[in-house]
Amino acid sequence: MRRNIPGTSPYEPVIGFSRAVRVGNTVHVSGTGPVGADLADPATQTRHILEIIRGVLEQAGARLEDVVRTRIYLTRADDWEAVGRAHGEFFGAIRPAATMVVVAQLLQPTWHVEIEADAVIESAPEKG
């Protein structure tokens, strides 16, 4: 069964996406920007994004420990280490597969980073 988990992004109804989608024991979290920390440095933006992702995973019945993959989009290659260290604060022991890619620009020009995540919940699939 599919369950869409909405977020608070004003872009969701315009673009037609959900913050996350749970299908069975898998949760896919959409690209998440640092909404609310738009003017912060890259490391702070990363921590803020990962807290947003933690919250939506919890809404879906998952935890950070269930994350098996992250995709990190940077606007500046020079930020990789600061962003990577912040990512490691959340995932250092979990160690999901991760990809870091440099892009020309994100949706908001003040964003330095955007992150996607996929999780596989070890427990039985959600019912209902």
CATH code of residue 44: 3.30.1330.40
Q: What is the pLDDT of residue 27?
A: 98
Please give the tally of structural domains in the chain.
1
Q: What is the pLDDT of residue 126?
A: 56
Q: Which of 59, 46, 65 is nearest to 19 (CA)?
A: 59
- For 35, 109, 127, the CA distances from 66, given in Å and listed in that order, are 24, 31, 18
Q: Over 90: is that where the pLDDT of 11 sits?
A: no
Give me the phi and psi of 102, to 5 degrees please.
-95, 130
Q: What token pair was written down for 111?
A: 């964003």
- The predicted-structure confidence for 52-89, as pLDDT tens digits, reads as follows 999 999 999 999 999 999 999 999 999 999 999 999 99
Provide the residue range defining the domain that includes 20: 2-120
Q: Is residue 70 part of a domain?
A: yes
- The predicted-structure confidence for 81-120, as pLDDT tens digits, reads as follows 999 999 999 999 999 999 999 999 998 999 999 999 999 9
- The predicted-structure confidence for 40-49, as pLDDT tens digits, reads as follows 999 999 999 9
Q: Is residue 125 part of a domain?
A: no
Q: Is residue 128 part of a domain?
A: no
Interacting residues of 100 by C-beta distance below 8 A, sequence separation 6+: 72, 74, 80, 83, 84
Q: Is residue 51 part of a domain?
A: yes
Q: Over 80: is that where the pLDDT of 125 sits?
A: no
